[in-house]
Structure 1
Amino acid sequence: HVKSGGALLLFPAGRVSYFHKDTKRIADHTWNRIVASIASRAKAPYVPVFISGLNSPLFYRLGRIYYRLRLLMLARELTNKQNAKIKVSAGFPIEEKHYAKDADLTCRTELFRAQSYLISPEYETSWPADPVTHMQPLADEVPYHEVLAEIAQLPAEQHLLDHKDFSVYFGYQKQLPKTVDEIARLREMVFREHNEGSGEPRDTDHFDATYIQLFVIKKDTGQIIGAYRMGQTDKLLADGNLDNLYLNRMFDFGPEFVNRQKPCLEMGRSFLIPEYQRSFQGLFLLWRGIGAYVCKYPQYRTLYGTVSISKLYDMRSVAVIEQAMVTTTNNVARRHPYSYTFQPEFCDFAKKYGLKEHITPLLKTIEPDGKDIPVLLKHYNKLGAVFHSLGVDKSFNDTPGLLLSVDLPSAPEKLLKLYLADGWEDYKKAVKPKE
């Protein structure tokens, strides 16, 4: 029936929820593994459902004395629900391919159960109102020929690479005032699509004057398709002032955090214009540029920064990402609170199995458009990133951001070859600066 496309509604606990002495809360019985077995064998989408409501206190009290007394009460509990309203909440269908392949039936079954508890309406929370409530019109586009004219004046070493119809450069605002204006305009345009805009005509601040702008242009037209903003911590912290770091606004960096130990690049404000956001080429060109830059300046062994998690995600999704990815240490702490409380049964699953291998089906349970984790987060994870904390960027429309660091020489060789090209071996062997 299921293999042929039919729907099957299951109550895998086989009984009504009851009081559990070990956890001291009312919850479903352990689910029968048949639900995971059928979904797996039939390669069928799974839709979690949560049915809200409670039986009478007497039902649960008698059940604590002896389970058969609970059974005797069922007929009474059924009849006293006449004219009652029962809320049924459903998640979104999750394809079988999104579940971890190496999870056994017991783990898969408990994950299905956790997904139902994840959508409990009692634990559904809305984002606070955005502090940015008015969007000014975007600034006028900077003519491409003005961008090309500024780029033509850059020293040759700031031309990082050419690839097909594109070129990658880096520079400073004092060298490229109009180009940085255009980058800031495009940043604001892209960030507004993700509910992260500043509301100003351009997304800019005083850090644009002290950070490097790495950007990709079309060679023939000068159109900017994407950019990164990078801070050289050895220069920015030369006077010991942590306020020179943008991310010091979000995080309290302890003396043992990597940016206070050795030269790093603080990465941020990355974007790709819409037509390149779903293509491999855009992200590849930005990272080929980063690779070319660190080959020129091999003292930078570590990259760190944040991946913004748009408030277009549900708060539960952001909390799932945080719990799955973050390894908490005493080296850094967020300056602004972010809190979400999970349903206790879901917490039990997370504690027993962890969430990292199950992020995709959990997010797809919640997100109406089937969003997975952000592409850039996936990218950093492949590079071997360590995720330190989830903070809130008060300068970025209160957008959550996941702080991470990457020890670049330790990244997978396949990716070093891809992004550092012929320079990867020399970079990997470069003598580390004295600390």
Structure 2
Amino acid sequence: YRRLFLLLSENQYFRLNTYLMGSMDSRKELTQQTLHAEPIIAPILTETLENELLDLSEFKLLEQADFEVYCAPTPKMPQMMREIGRVREESFRDVGEGSGLSCDVDLFDPNYHQLFVWHKTNRELVGAYRLGLVDELIEQGGIHALYSTSLFKYDEAFIKTLGCSIELGRSVVAKQYQRNMHSLLLLWKGIASFVQRNPKYTHLFGPVSISNDYSPVARQLIASVMSVHYYDNDKAKLVSPTTPLERNDQEFWRPDMLSSLSQLPLLSKVLSRLERGIGIPVLLKQYLSMNGKLVCFNVDPAFNYTLDGLIVVDLTSVPEKKLGKYMGYDNAVKYQLAHKKM
């Protein structure tokens, strides 16, 4: 039976490839909306940022060669927040996203923590992540204090399924550090270090973007494959989009055809052919490698119509070797063992 299934999957894979290649002529259909974008602010003076860093020593999570990783409440770092906002907008516009504002800092930022990497020798920001401590945010402002409620409809019933959780978002790496995975690795080491210091947190969740660099058919394909192979159907019943992804006329595949794309390398290969070298979004691949599960998709009109998937990662079920890559193997074993005893 397994051999028959593999044969059927292989045939479906080739059929799907054939159909997708036939759609390439229309892949340039416009998805990006015209934005009347404001000019991006100038970089914050290096001396100003370094002076602020002197007051953030208690928030330093780790140091590796020339890189320092911090995670601090936003009010503690107003100048670095502006620099993060500048780098966000610059980087997001490059991939067909962006707020269109001169500095991407929103109404949620002041109540969140900002995790960021600083290069000591180059004296510049490398990348950043936004962390929302869900228990604290809800206590302060209720469920709508969470950024993701602006994209997805859910209530406390969904949050309760996550235990003690952290909302992640606004992941960004500065242009000059995007050539390799080291910067993203450092950000994830920072997240793991924060969790290790605050071990009550067991789940990460938040929107992961599929940018307008992808054609409409590719975005539909990614959403369809995720819905078949990487979905938490129970949690999905508790979440709905504020702006649903509209079905495209080019969505010609059937669910059974998608069975051939259960392996991420195959999906990435198909996307790479369809998108002229662009495979699975890096951050989506990162979450999936940690057993992340999607629960909903939404289109964000306020962020240049980016497609967002709401994804959930249960850190207590991530393979020890994988979690150990970021937290350190012994720390990962200790963390997961402590939660198994609860």
Measured against the shorter chain, the TM-score band is 0.7 to 0.9
1:361 aligns with 2:269: yes
Equivalent position to 2:314, from 384, 387, 407: 407
CA drift of 1:385 comes to 0.4
Matched, 1:181 2:58: no
CA contact (8 A) 1:111 1:349 kept: no
For 1:172-192, what per-residue CA distance to the aligned partner results, in whole angstroms no more than 9, with x for missing partners?
221110010001001001001
Match of 1:318 among 219, 222, 230: 219
Unaligned runs of 5+ residues in structure 1 are: 1-101
Q: Which amino acid in structure 1 is aligned with residue 303 of structure 2?
A: F
Alignment of 1:122-271 (within 5 A): 124=26, 126-128=29-31, 130=33, 132-156=34-58, 158-239=59-140, 241-258=142-159, 262-271=163-172
Give the counterpart letter for 1:337 in structure 2.
P
Separation of aligned partners in 2, 1:129 and 1:345: 22
User: Structure 2: how far apart are the matches of 1:426 and 1:268?
Assistant: 27
Contact 2:244–2:297 (CA under 8 A) maintained in structure 1: no
| Aligned AA (1:287) | W
CA distance in 2, matches of 1:254, 1:372: 34
- Which residue number in structure 1 is paired with residue 332 of structure 2? 424
Contact 2:138/2:145, CA 8 A, preserved across alignment? yes
Fraction of identical pairs, as percent: 33
Structure 1 residue aligned with 2:245: 338
Structure 1 Cα separation of the partners of residues 118 and 132 of structure 2: 21
Shift in CA distance, 201/343, structure 1 to aligned 2, threshold 3 Å: closer
Q: Which residue of 1 aligns with 2:18?
A: 116
Give the drift of 1:106: 4.6
Q: Which runs of 5+ in 2 are unaligned?
A: none
Which of 101, 107, 123 in structure 1 is aligned with 2:9?
107
Higher helix content, 1 or 2: 2
CA distance in 2 between partners of 1:411 and 1:199 (Å): 37
Partner of 1:82: none
Determine which of 367, 371, 392 is the counterpart of 2:299: 392
Aligned with 1:298 (options 182, 199, 209): 199
Question: Paired residue for 1:372?
Answer: 279
Q: Which string of whole-angstrom CA distances, capped at 9 and with x for unpartnered residues, describes residues 135-178 of structure 1?
A: 2221011112211211111252x110000111000112211100
Q: 2:69–2:186: 8 Å Cα contact kept in structure 1?
A: yes
Retained in 2: the 8 A contact 1:251–1:335? yes
What aligned pairs does 1:11-50 form with structure 2 within 5 A after superposition?
A: none
CA RMSD, aligned part only?
A: 2.6
Distance 1:430 1:198 in 2: 41
CA distance in 1, matches of 2:23, 2:322: 42
Deviation at 1:343, TM superposition (A): 5.7
The CA deviation string for residues 365-403 of structure 1, in whole angstroms up to 9 with x for no partner, is 421x22101111111111010111111123311210111
Distance 1:309 1:410 in 2: 25
State the shift of 1:260 in Å. 6.6
Counterparts of 1:262 and 1:310 in 2: how far apart (Å)?
30
Change (3 A) 1:268 1:432: farther
SS of residue paired to 1:117 = helix
Amino acid corresponding to residue 71 of structure 2 in structure 1: F
Displacement after TM superposition at 1:114 (Å): 2.3
Normalized against structure 2, the TM-score is what? 0.88
Do the aligned partners of residues 197 and 361 (structure 1) sit closer, same or farther apart at CA in structure 2, a change above 3 Å counting?
same
> 1:260 & 1:207 partners in 2: Cα distance?
23
Larger RCO (alpha carbons 8 Å, 6+ apart): 2
Alignment of 1:51-130 (within 5 A): 104-121=6-23, 124=26, 126-128=29-31, 130=33
Q: What letter corresponds to residue 195 of structure 2 in structure 1? A: V
Task: Find the aligned partners of 1:194 and 1:425 in 2 and give their Cα distance.
Answer: 38
Equivalents in 1 of 2:62, 2:255: separation in Å? 50
Following the alignment from structure 2 to structure 1, what is the Cα–Cα distance between the partners of residues 98 and 160?
Answer: 27
Distance 1:399 1:120, change over 3 A: same
Q: Is the 8 A contact 2:31 2:215 kept in 1?
A: no
- TM-score between both structures, scaled by the size of structure 1: 0.70
Verify the 8 A CA contact 2:152 2:242 in the aligned structure 1.
yes
Q: How far is 1:133 from its partner? A: 1.8
Q: Which amino acid aligns with 2:279?
A: D
Q: Residue 224 and residue 110 in structure 1: after superposition, are their counterparts in 2 closer, same or farther (change >3 A)?
A: same
**Separation (CA, whole Å) in 2 of partners of 1:165 and 1:348:** 48
Aligned-residue offset at 1:257: 1.6
User: SS state of the match for residue 157, structure 2?
Assistant: coil
Q: Is the 8 A contact 1:299 1:433 kept in 2?
A: no
Q: Which structure has the greater CA radius of gyration?
A: 1
Equivalent-residue separation in structure 2 for 1:251 and 1:107 (angstroms): 33
Alignment size in residue pairs: 329
